[in-house]
Structure 1
Amino acid sequence: MATLKVPPSVPSPAEDSEQLRKAFAGWGTNEALIIQILAHRNSAQRNLIRKTYADTYGEDLLKELDKELSSDFERIVLLWTLDHAERDAFLANEATKRFTASNWVLMEIACSRSSHDLFMVRQAYHARYKRSLEEDVAYHTTGDYRKLLVPLVTSFRYEGDEVNMTLAKSEAKILNEKMSGKAYNDEEVIRILSTRSKAQLNATLNHYNNQFGNAINKDLKTDPKDEFLALLRATIKCLTCPEKYFEKLLRLAINKLGTDEWALTRVVATRAEVDMQRIKDEYHRRNSVPLDRAIAGDTSGDYEKMLLALIGHGDA
């Protein structure tokens, strides 16, 4: 359900590298050419372009882009050009930093990637920062947040569709007992959320809904000001229906007083090759406005053009 538009015949990585080199040459940068190439190449093709560029010109393409571009446009191009595991490792590391700290970004990476992808992120993190993702998350979080996030970023879930209904019923009962007792940070709640496959969790939460007459996220809304409960609700949404989680993130980013470009950039860069079509459908359904129109109304210039190209808008 990706939205990336790759042309039927793609130039060779050598040709693309040469064109990018031209885009950087002389006075001013040819941003349109950068968008035309990078926004229309898939992950494997972008990796080849980076390698070819380094082999041909002895320069790191990312460093060149960093030199030539600025602000939000630079951020989206750099994030997009990174390999997906490197990108997530970079975002996770940024999320542990003092000024860009975000428990939400850590949760999002842990819950919306496949087990294999999350494993690759941990490897990329290790290679780049010479520390493990889990040690940084443990060091930079405290209390209930640490209790939830460390098991989430270290999990390696079963990815198949097999579901154990007996287990779903018994774990729905455990969850309901904990919700009734307001023991939201109980280790059983965290164990279930951080170890069960997504199919198993869906079965458990459906049973919870049918058996106890309420969706678990309703039962987690007892205190709207409690940030841990908000993160717990987002964790459940991100694990069970990521397109709804990302739609809400985009809606809040766009409707904010002054756009939250940080969130908008991250969602587009990380989901364009995954489930952006589902997110677009959900956005349209929920807001009665197509996502491309919402983005066009809220952003401008090369940044807008790059975002629209990545979500597969028309001739962008």
Structure 2
Amino acid sequence: MATLICPEHPSPVADAEALRKAFQGWGTNEKAIVSILGHRNAVQTKLIRKTYEDMYAEDLVKRLESELSGDFELLVALASPYKYFGDDINVKLAKVEADILHDKVKDKALNDEEIMRIISTRSNAQIVATLNNYKDNNGVAITKAFKDDLENSYLAALLSAIRSINNPQKYYEKVLRNALSKPGTDEDALTRVIVTRAEKDLKNIKDLYYKRNSATLDHVVGKETSSHYKALLLALLGKED
């Protein structure tokens, strides 16, 4: 379940104009930027970006980068198109690519670009079907092949990607827990999870976080962050500051 609260039919023209106004004058009006980008879904945000470029002949993302400090990565992510993860599954493709994975594991070619291509270009549903096919055929999950060499940062990252696809809520709750429990919050990890899951299953991740930590994610994020960065995160979490 998503946490993002959006108006049903916002005007991309009005939003583009408001963002342009926020960039002008002495100092950027970050509150105005948060009020727009913190309450628009991926489709709405993509329309804003296109409309802004059509109206003002400049890339909204690049303008955000030039105007903001600290928080700009989060806002840039919001203003960029999201990848669509559909539910359709090609059974034949899952079998073919499971066989490819098997061959790469057998040859110890875990760095092969074919593995990255499969993991990075297929929908989550398609990847799960492929990984299940691999496990059915080999009697063991492909993640076992990566666990033997976790000192390799590439393989460790690939393993994290696979885990996030297989059990996303459990994986992302752990990422958030680690990010918020470190001395000095890991803002990159915090930003990445909240931005990418706000339209998908962030409500479920929040519920799991509360069960495991006896504290609401809203409360901990509010305590560990500040200023407009905090306001935007709370907006994406479905709670206003």
**TM-score normalised by L of structure 1:** 0.57
Matches within 5 A, 1:24-173: 24-71=23-70, 73-85=71-83, 114=85, 159-160=88-89
Q: For residue 37 of structure 2, what is the amino acid of its counterpart? A: L
Deviation, structure 1 residue 287:
1.3
The answer on 1:239 being equivalent to 2:165 is: yes
Q: Measured at CA, do residues 84 and 220 of structure 1 come closer, stay the same or move farther in structure 2, by a change above 3 Å?
A: closer
Task: Give the alignment partner of residue 128 of structure 2, picking from 183, 191, 198.
Answer: 198
Deviation, structure 1 residue 218:
9.3
The answer on 1:261 being equivalent to 2:191 is: no
Q: How far, CA to CA, are the matches of 1:31 and 1:315 in structure 2?
A: 15
Q: How far, CA to CA, are the matches of 1:264 and 1:16 in structure 2?
A: 26
Q: For residue 77 of structure 2, what is the amino acid of its counterpart? A: L
Q: Measured at CA, do residues 229 and 286 of structure 1 come closer, stay the same or move farther in structure 2, by a change above 3 Å?
A: farther
- Please say which of residues 38-47 and 227-236 is displaced more in the overlay: 227-236
CA distances 1:226-285 after superposition (whole Å, capped 9, x unpaired): 878855753552232111111111111111111111111111222212221222122112
Matches within 5 A, 1:11-26: 12-26=11-25
Aligned partner of 1:7 in structure 2 is: 7
Contact 2:150 2:156 (8 Å CA) reproduced:
yes
Contact 1:159 1:197 (8 Å CA) reproduced:
no
**TM-score normalised by L of structure 2:** 0.73
The answer on 1:301 being equivalent to 2:231 is: no
Contact 2:37 2:45 (8 Å CA) reproduced:
yes
Deviation, structure 1 residue 301:
0.5
5+ long unaligned stretches in structure 2: none
Q: Measured at CA, do residues 6 and 288 of structure 1 come closer, stay the same or move farther in structure 2, by a change above 3 Å?
A: same
Q: For residue 82 of structure 1, what is the amino acid of its counterpart? A: S
Q: Measured at CA, do residues 64 and 225 of structure 1 come closer, stay the same or move farther in structure 2, by a change above 3 Å?
A: closer
Deviation, structure 1 residue 14:
1.4
Matches within 5 A, 1:172-183: none
Q: For residue 73 of structure 2, what is the amino acid of its counterpart? A: R
Q: Measured at CA, do residues 83 and 228 of structure 1 come closer, stay the same or move farther in structure 2, by a change above 3 Å?
A: closer
Q: For residue 198 of structure 1, what is the amino acid of its counterpart? A: V
Q: How far, CA to CA, are the matches of 1:38 and 1:29 in structure 2?
A: 14
Partner-residue secondary structure (3-state), 1:309: helix
Q: Measured at CA, do residues 47 and 222 of structure 1 come closer, stay the same or move farther in structure 2, by a change above 3 Å?
A: closer
Q: For residue 4 of structure 2, what is the amino acid of its counterpart? A: L
Between the aligned residues of both structures, percent identity stands at 45
5+ long unaligned stretches in structure 1: 86-112, 117-157
Q: Measured at CA, do residues 47 and 229 of structure 1 come closer, stay the same or move farther in structure 2, by a change above 3 Å?
A: closer
Q: How far, CA to CA, are the matches of 2:158 and 2:59 in structure 1?
A: 40
Deviation, structure 1 residue 66:
1.6
Q: Measured at CA, do residues 2 and 26 of structure 1 come closer, stay the same or move farther in structure 2, by a change above 3 Å?
A: same
Q: For residue 74 of structure 1, what is the amino acid of its counterpart? A: F
Larger RCO: Structure 1 or Structure 2 (Cα < 8 Å, ≥ 6 residues apart)?
2
